[in-house]
Amino acid sequence: MRALLVANPAATTTSARTRDVLIHALASEMKLDTVTTEYRGHARDLGRRAAESEDIELVVALGGDGTVNEVVNGLLHNGPDPERLPRLAVVPGGSTNVFARALGLPNDAVEATGALLDALRERRERTVGLGLASGTPGSEDEAVPARWFTFCAGFGFDAGVVGRVEQQREKGKRSTHALYVRQLVRQFLEEPNRRHGTVTLERPGADPVHDLVLSIVCNTSPWTFLGNRPLYASPEASFDTALDVLALSRLSTPAAARYATQLLTSTPERGPHGKHALSLHDLTAFTLHSKVPLPFQMDGDHLGLRTSVQFTGVRRALRVIV
């Protein structure tokens, strides 16, 4: 079997020595081509080339959720075709690794490599659903290219937190959970729309929901991790269904404290809830509009400001080694 390993040298939790060990272990089991990413978007380009090749059967992403997202967008550049496209395998090397952990993989890169090799020998794989976000026809974001996401997207508050974290990382700060918590607090204190939401959710066959302050779109559960603690924004979300949404219509200090506590104590059976919380399950198509431009993120990657985003949940989009 011929495989392509896409390795991010800036991955937070893997050293050059660790990467060499992992590459040697994988190369002992398959014909392996290894490419180290050199620029933003390089992993996407490599994934696209693998999808268009005739002999690559497997693409291994060694890095964090951002690297995985780029590889997936490359593989699905011409649309989902799970029977034809190379399979995807993930070796976690980032600070959180939500996609890999949601698949049930160990969070340690060496252990995950061992699990990957076992899965290949035993031919264990699954076909997962993914989310697709694009510009809304007729809006000023209509020309924004469509992009796939593997585990979550956010429009508004949480995307603002992600943007703040990226700014700190550009200044040389290390990506840690403490950094995320600090930026979350700052975003809350400076959030101009937390008392009067600007977002409207529209979906076929239902009345619009107006004045939302926070909107999180989940493709799987948990939504993210705080250290080793999983946080369940939409406990019913699954790789086997379409998309789930958690939206809040109020983010005053008491409401924020209540929902933060619910999130920290969430379980696979129960997430944030209350009269100002909207939870929707298994949506194949919906749109989020805002009266003002808001931050937008996908898989933890800040993508700038948007006023409207159209979402599609695509079941059985890509084969993944588990």
Does one domain contain both 28 and 144?
A: no
Does one domain contain both 179 and 32?
A: no
Q: In the predicted model, is pLDDT for residue 272 greater than 80?
A: yes
Quote the pLDDT of residue 117: 95
Q: What confidence tier does 230 reach under pLDDT thresholds 50, 70, 90?
A: very high
Residue 107 forms part of a structural domain: yes
Cα distance between residue 64 and residue 66, in whole Å: 5
Q: In the predicted model, is pLDDT for residue 194 greater than 80?
A: no
Quote the pLDDT of residue 7: 95
DSSP H helices in 208-292: 253-264
* Structural domain boundaries enclosing 272: 131-317
Residue 24, SS3 per DSSP: helix
Torsion angles phi and psi, residue 29, rounded to 5:
-115, -10
Residue 56 forms part of a structural domain: yes
Over residues 250-266, the mean pLDDT reads 94
Q: In the predicted model, is pLDDT for residue 62 greater than 90?
A: yes
Cα distance between residue 113 and residue 22, in whole Å: 7
Residue 312 forms part of a structural domain: yes
Does one domain contain both 8 and 92?
A: yes
CATH of the domain at 185: 2.60.200.40
Q: In the predicted model, is pLDDT for residue 53 greater than 90?
A: yes
Does one domain contain both 290 and 271?
A: yes
Whole-number Cα distances in Å, 148 to 71, 78, 199: 10, 12, 22
Residue 322 forms part of a structural domain: no
Q: In the predicted model, is pLDDT for residue 113 greater than 90?
A: yes
pTM to 2 decimal places: 0.94
Does one domain contain both 119 and 135?
A: no
CATH of the domain at 68: 3.40.50.10330
Does one domain contain both 14 and 148?
A: no
Q: In the predicted model, is pLDDT for residue 199 greater than 90?
A: yes
Over residues 142-162, the mean pLDDT reads 93
Count of Cβ atoms closer than 10 Å to residue 205 Cβ = 4
Over residues 161-172, the mean pLDDT reads 89
Cα distance between residue 266 and residue 87, in whole Å: 32
Does one domain contain both 111 and 256?
A: no
CA dihedral 184, 253, 210, 264 (to 10 degrees): 60
Over residues 137-165, the mean pLDDT reads 91
Does one domain contain both 193 and 82?
A: no
Instruction: Specify the number of domains making up the chain.
Output: 2
Does one domain contain both 95 and 189?
A: no
Does one domain contain both 74 and 189?
A: no
Does one domain contain both 109 and 139?
A: no
Please state, for a pLDDT cut of 90, what percent of the chain lies above it. Answer: 83
Q: Is 128 exposed, middle or buried (0-12, 13-18, 19+ CB in 10 A)?
A: buried
CA-based Rg of the chain, rounded to a whole angstrom?
A: 19
